[in-house]
């Protein structure tokens, strides 16, 4: 939807074909960070207050130790994935995007794509079909770059609970072998998402490791069924070949631990539309890589903390005792602040870890 809207804004004629029917759901933490909200606004898409829940910052919880920080600027929203998809679909329709639902794409052809048994001609073909992208495979773009972790997926499971949010923060609870995200999505509902390396670990089993979170959820009823997805860190050698391009998770991505998946897709969509309008695909390759650089670095850092419990406990003690350090790390995560400030925060954290 984001790519279609961005392309229409550049005057291109756009058709979207999908085998599903909107609003399309997906296992997702359902948090839109301030940079993601800004990226949506750049596409002239606003999220109505009635459709989402505003939260003010991030809270880390690890073995009874808590650290929190407000966003340095901007607004963040928790929003049901289905609400977001409906909003964007309506916007795409208003922009003049031709939407073909219940219409799966079955292959690439010379000069177009095979859709519902016929070939539709297209100047550009964009694969926006997720982590397991068939378009990526058809175009021969599956080759990964460097030490990409695409062969080491992690598994996410999400469920909604009918309970009033107990905090104005999005929470990340660290466990021994998993993480649980809690995002308020309305005044009476929270999204709880589990991410781990085990395809067998489910929310009901994992919650036993998080007594504080279990207490906050209490006996809340479910407002959705448990839904799963795979998350991977993957960097591709190329994100286009001839007239076929990739965007979003189809074009690679970072582990869900960063919460940056939606923002990445929105920013890529805006750049891709400009490059299509100008016919400059090499620029898209270059800027696509640049857009993913900071989220990839944050993903590596957070996955390192997830893997090394002793270091994570020490870091949490630093974050709790020195909130400015945690606020600096959050600003770095969002790409806010100067390089000097980020270096200072990193030095402060490193010193505290060495001397603590």
Are residues 88 and 18 both part of a single domain?
A: yes
Confidence of residue 356 (pLDDT cuts 50, 70, 90): low
> Which tokens belong to 200?
């067998």
151: Cβ–Cβ under 8 A, 6 or more apart, which residues? none
Rounded Cα gap, residues 180 and 93, in angstroms = 36
Instruction: Note whether residue 227 is domain-resident.
Output: no
Are residues 35 and 117 both part of a single domain?
A: yes
- Say if residues 268 and 248 touch (Cβ distance below 8 Å): yes
Are residues 86 and 122 both part of a single domain?
A: yes
Instruction: Note whether residue 327 is domain-resident.
Output: yes
Rounded Cα gap, residues 86 and 88, in angstroms = 5
Are residues 243 and 342 both part of a single domain?
A: no
Predicted confidence (pLDDT) at residue 339 exceeds the cutoff of 70: no
- 302, 324, 346 — which closes off a domain? 302
Residue 37: enclosing H or E segment and its boundaries? helix 34-42
Confidence of residue 338 (pLDDT cuts 50, 70, 90): low
Q: What pLDDT, on a 0 to 100 scale, did the predictor assign at position 220?
A: 95
Instruction: Note whether residue 328 is domain-resident.
Output: yes
96: Cβ–Cβ under 8 A, 6 or more apart, which residues? 8, 14
Are residues 315 and 260 both part of a single domain?
A: no
Are residues 95 and 39 both part of a single domain?
A: yes
Q: 349 versus 127: which is more confidently predicted?
A: 127
Are residues 263 and 311 both part of a single domain?
A: no
Q: How open is the CA angle 181-152-60, to the nearest 5 degrees?
A: 20
- Say if residues 87 and 51 touch (Cβ distance below 8 Å): yes
| Strand order across the beta sheet in which 244-246 lies | 125-127, 244-246, 240-241
Are residues 44 and 91 both part of a single domain?
A: yes
Rounded Cα gap, residues 222 and 226, in angstroms = 9
Instruction: Note whether residue 237 is domain-resident.
Output: yes
Name the domain count of the chain: 2
Confidence of residue 340 (pLDDT cuts 50, 70, 90): low
User: Which structural domain range is residue 246 located in?
Assistant: 2-48+80-150+233-302
Predicted confidence (pLDDT) at residue 351 exceeds the cutoff of 50: no
Are residues 309 and 296 both part of a single domain?
A: no
Predicted confidence (pLDDT) at residue 148 exceeds the cutoff of 60: no
Instruction: Note whether residue 118 is domain-resident.
Output: yes
Rounded Cα gap, residues 215 and 16, in angstroms = 44
Are residues 310 and 290 both part of a single domain?
A: no
Are residues 291 and 325 both part of a single domain?
A: no
CATH code, domain carrying 291: 3.50.50.60
């Amino acid at each position: 939807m984001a790519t279609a809207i961005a392309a229409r804004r550049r005057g291109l004629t756009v058709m979207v074909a999908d085998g599903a029917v909107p609003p399309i759901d997906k296992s997702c933490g359902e948090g839109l960070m301030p940079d993601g909200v800004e990226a949506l606004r750049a596409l002239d898409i606003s999220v109505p207050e009635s459709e989402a829940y505003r939260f003010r910052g991030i809270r880390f919880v690890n073995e009874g130790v808590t650290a929190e920080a407000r966003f340095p600027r901007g607004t963040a929203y928790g929003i049901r994935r289905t609400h977001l998809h409906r909003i964007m679909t309506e916007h795409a329709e208003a922009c003049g995007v031709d939407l073909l639902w219940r219409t799966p794409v079955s292959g690439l052809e010379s000069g177009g794509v095979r859709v519902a048994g016929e070939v539709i001609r297209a100047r550009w073909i964009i694969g926006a079909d997720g982590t397991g992208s068939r378009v990526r495979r058809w175009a021969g773009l599956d080759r990964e770059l460097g030490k990409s972790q695409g062969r080491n997926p992690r598994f996410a499971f999400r469920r909604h609970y009918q309970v009033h949010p107990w905090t104005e923060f999005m929470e990340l609870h660290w466990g021994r072998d998993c993480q649980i995200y809690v995002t308020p999505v309305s005044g009476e509902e929270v999204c709880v998402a589990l991410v781990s390396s085990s395809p067998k670990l489910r929310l009901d089993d994992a919650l036993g490791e998080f007594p504080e979170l279990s207490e906050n959820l209490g006996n809340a009823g479910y407002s959705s069924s448990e839904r799963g997805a795979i998350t991977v860190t993957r960097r591709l050698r190329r994100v286009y070949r001839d007239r076929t391009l990739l965007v979003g998770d189809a074009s690679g991505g970072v582990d869900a631990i960063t919460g940056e998946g939606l923002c990445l897709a929105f920013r890529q969509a805006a750049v891709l539309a400009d490059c299509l309008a100008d016919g400059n695909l090499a620029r898209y390759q270059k800027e696509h890589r640049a857009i993913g650089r900071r989220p990839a670095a944050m993903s590596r850092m957070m996955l390192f903390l997830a893997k090394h419990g002793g270091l994570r406990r020490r870091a949490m003690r630093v974050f709790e005792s020195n909130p400015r350090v945690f606020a600096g790390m959050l600003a770095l995560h969002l790409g806010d602040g100067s390089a000097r400030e980020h270096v200072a925060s990193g030095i402060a954290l490193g010193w505290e870890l060495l001397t603590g």
